[in-house]
C-alpha cells in the first residue's frame, strides 16, 4: 500500500466511513477507490482521472485536496499541460466605394436639403395663418366683478377663542425607526477560511446551518478553528444548528453543496460544490484577530 493510500484509508477509518459510503458520496466506482488505497494506478482510466479521483476522495474524508496532491506529487501523475495556440491576426477588408454608392449618397443629401427647406416654409406659413386669425376678445371693463362688496363682520364672541385655547394639543407622532437590512460582505482570506463581515453593527444576528440532501461533516467553533467547539459530527440530512453571532464563528463543512448557511435569512456564499469549505463569520465592529492554522493532514474526530 502506498503512503497516499494509507493516508486516505486512515482518514476514512477515523470518520467511520466505508468504501461504499465514499462511492455514494463521490460517485467513483469502488474498485477505483480500492486501487487508490493500494497504490495500483494502472487500474484507473488515465493520469487525469488519477488526480481527479484522489482529489474527490480527499474532500470526502475532510482533507485539503490541494495540499494532499502537493505532498504526494511523487505518487500522483502530473496534470497534462495545455498547449496555447497564438491567435492569428486577421486584417479587416478594405471598403471599396463604387460609383453607384457615391451617386446614391449625393441624391440622398439633395433630398434631405430640399425636405428641410420645405419644412421651414410650412412652419412659417402655419405661424402666419394663426397670427391673422384675429385678436382675442377683450373683456368688458364696465362689468362689475361682484354685485355688492361688504366689509367682513367682526366676531365679538370671545367664548370661541377661549374654548380653542383650552383644548389640549395633540402630541406629534414620532416615526417608527427602520431596521437596516443584514449585509454579508466578503472581507479577506484568513488562513484557509473565507472571512465574511456581517452588518450592520449593534444588531442581533442569528446564524443558521442546515444540512439538506445528504450527510455532511459539520464543525462549528467560536473565534477560530482552535476556539471552543460548539458542534462537531457527521450531520444527517435535515440537521439544523442555530447560533447567536455575538462574536466571530468558525464553520467547517465537508460538503458545501449539502449545506445552507444563512444570517438572518440572508445566504452566505459557501461555494456550493462537492467539497469542503471553511468560513469565518465576523460581526461588524468586532476587531478580534482570528487565525486558521489547520494542518491539511489532520482530520476532525467525530464525537
**pLDDT tens-digit profile of 39-59?**
777 777 777 778 888 888 888
With 90 as the cut, is the pLDDT of residue 121 above it?
yes
In a domain, 121, yes or no: no
- Output the pLDDT for position 302: 39
Residue 279 burial (10 A CB sphere; 0-12, 13-18, 19+): buried
Grid cell in block for residue 27: 460517485
Q: What percent of the chain has pLDDT over 70?
A: 69
Domain end call among 13, 43, 71 = 71
In a domain, 249, yes or no: yes
Q: How far is CA 2 from the centre of its chain?
A: 42
User: Containing domain of residue 264, as a range?
Assistant: 183-283
Read off the pLDDT of each residue in 246-259 and give the average, rounded to a whole number: 90
With 60 as the cut, is the pLDDT of residue 298 above it?
no
What distance in Å separates the CA atoms of residue 192 and residue 64, rounded to the nearest whole number? 10
Please write the tens of the pLDDT for every residue from 217-247: 889 999 899 999 999 998 999 999 999 988 9
* 3-state DSSP assignment of residue 229: strand
In a domain, 142, yes or no: no
- Output the pLDDT for position 111: 92
Domain end call among 26, 51, 71 = 71
Handedness of CA 11, 15, 20, 22 (dihedral sign): negative
Q: Is the distance from CB of 46 to CB of 76 less than 8 angstroms?
A: no
Please write the tens of the pLDDT for every residue from 57-86: 888 888 888 887 777 777 666 655 554 445
In a domain, 82, yes or no: no
Q: Please, what is the angle between helix 47-60 and helix 3-14, to 10°?
A: 30
In a domain, 45, yes or no: yes
In a domain, 176, yes or no: no
In a domain, 126, yes or no: no
Would you list the DSSP string of 61-73? Answer: TT--HHHHHHHTT
CATH number at residue 59: 1.10.260.40
Q: Is the distance from CB of 260 to CB of 279 less than 8 angstroms?
A: no
In a domain, 139, yes or no: no
Domain end call among 71, 99, 128 = 71
- Total number of domains constituting the chain: 2
- Better-predicted residue by pLDDT, 152 or 275: 275
What distance in Å separates the CA atoms of residue 250 and residue 273, rounded to the nearest whole number? 19
Amino acid at each position: 500500500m502506498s503512503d497516499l493510500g494509507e493516508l486516505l484509508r486512515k482518514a476514512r477509518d477515523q470518520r467511520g466511513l466505508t468504501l461504499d459510503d465514499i462511492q455514494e458520496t463521490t460517485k467513483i466506482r469502488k474498485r477505483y477507490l480500492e486501487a487508490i488505497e493500494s497504490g495500483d494506478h494502472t487500474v484507473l482510466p488515465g493520469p487525469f482521472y488519477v488526480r481527479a479521483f484522489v482529489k474527490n476522495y480527499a474532500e470526502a474524508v475532510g482533507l485539503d485536496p490541494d495540499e494532499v496532491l502537493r505532498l504526494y506529487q511523487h505518487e500522483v501523475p502530473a496534470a497534462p499541460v495545455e498547449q496555447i495556440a497564438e491567435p492569428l491576426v486577421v486584417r479587416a477588408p478594405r471598403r471599396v466605394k463604387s460609383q453607384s454608392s457615391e451617386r446614391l449618397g449625393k441624391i440622398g443629401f439633395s433630398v434631405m436639403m430640399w425636405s428641410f427647406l420645405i419644412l421651414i416654409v410650412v412652419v412659417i406659413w402655419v405661424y402666419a395663418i394663426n397670427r391673422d386669425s384675429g385678436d382675442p376678445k377683450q373683456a368688458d371693463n364696465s362689468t362689475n366683478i361682484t354685485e355688492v362688496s361688504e366689509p367682513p363682520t367682526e366676531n365679538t364672541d370671545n367664548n370661541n377663542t377661549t374654548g380653542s385655547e383650552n383644548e389640549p394639543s395633540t402630541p406629534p407622532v414620532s416615526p417608527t425607526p427602520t431596521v437596516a437590512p443584514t449585509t454579508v460582505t466578503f472581507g479577506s482570506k484568513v488562513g484557509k477560511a473565507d472571512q465574511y463581515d456581517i452588518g450592520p453593527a449593534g444588531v442581533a444576528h442569528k446564524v443558521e446551518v442546515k444540512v439538506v440532501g445528504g450527510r455532511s461533516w459539520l464543525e462549528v467553533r467560536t473565534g477560530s478553528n482552535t476556539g471552543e467547539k460548539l458542534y462537531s459530527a457527521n450531520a444527517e440530512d435535515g440537521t439544523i444548528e442555530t447560533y447567536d453571532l455575538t462574536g466571530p464563528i468558525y464553520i467547517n463543512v465537508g460538503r458545501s453543496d449539502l449545506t445552507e448557511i444563512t444570517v438572518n435569512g440572508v445566504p452566505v456564499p459557501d461555494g456550493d460544490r462537492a467539497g469542503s469549505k471553511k468560513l469565518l463569520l465576523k460581526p461588524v465592529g468586532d476587531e478580534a484577530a482570528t487565525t486558521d492554522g489547520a494542518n491539511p493532514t489532520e482530520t476532525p474526530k467525530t464525537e
